[in-house]
């Protein structure tokens, strides 16, 4: 009888550990992969990396002073907007993950109190 209680106690602790590993570690990597996928799709629209790379190049290969000035202005605005959107996407994703992470703690709190 005592060995059965020890076995069930060990299995209970093991399952709690597995749940914590699955919920937090695997959940984090799931959210992180989804965030990276979403940012890659967003980058197809904003092209932040390419725009930042050509920030000081003239617009439409117009090598006059006006082409350089307009190229810098338009590309810096595009980089700023993309940075703003990326910031809010990452912040929102972090909020969703934190909400996800606190669900078990909220359930335990509701059970206790």
Give the distance, in angstroms, between the CA of residue 7 and the centroid of all CA atoms in the same chain. 40
Task: Give Cα separations from 57 to 27, 47, 52, 65 (angstroms).
Answer: 42, 15, 10, 11
Choose between 1 and 77: higher pLDDT.
77
pLDDT tens for each residue of 15-33: 999 999 999 999 999 999 9
Q: What is the rounded CA–CA span in Å between residue 82 and residue 73?
A: 14
Query: What integer pLDDT is reported at residue 15 of this predicted model?
Result: 95
Closest alpha carbon to 62 in 70, 51, 54 = 70
Q: Which long-range contacts (CB under 8 A, 24 or more apart) does 26-30 make?
A: 27/97, 27/100, 27/101, 28/97
**32-86 pLDDT per residue, tens:** 999 999 999 999 988 888 888 888 888 888 889 998 999 999 999 999 999 999 9
- Predicted TM-score (pTM) of this structure: 0.79
pLDDT of 1 higher than 80 = no
Half-sphere exposure of 55 (CA within 13 A, CB side): 9
| Residues 73, 95: Cα–Cα separation, whole Å | 33
């Amino acid at each position: 009888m005592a060995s059965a209680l020890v076995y069930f106690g060990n299995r209970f602790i093991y399952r709690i550990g597995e749940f914590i590993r699955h919920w937090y570690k695997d959940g984090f990597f799931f959210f992180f992969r989804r965030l990276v996928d979403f940012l890659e799709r967003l980058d197809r629209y904003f092209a932040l990396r390419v725009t930042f790379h050509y920030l000081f190049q003239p617009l439409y290969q117009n090598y006059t002073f006006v082409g350089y000035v307009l190229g810098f202005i338009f590309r810096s605005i595009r980089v700023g907007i993309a940075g703003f959107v990326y910031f809010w996407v990452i912040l929102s994703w972090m909020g969703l993950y934190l909400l996800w992470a606190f669900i078990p703690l909220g359930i335990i709190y509701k059970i206790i109190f």
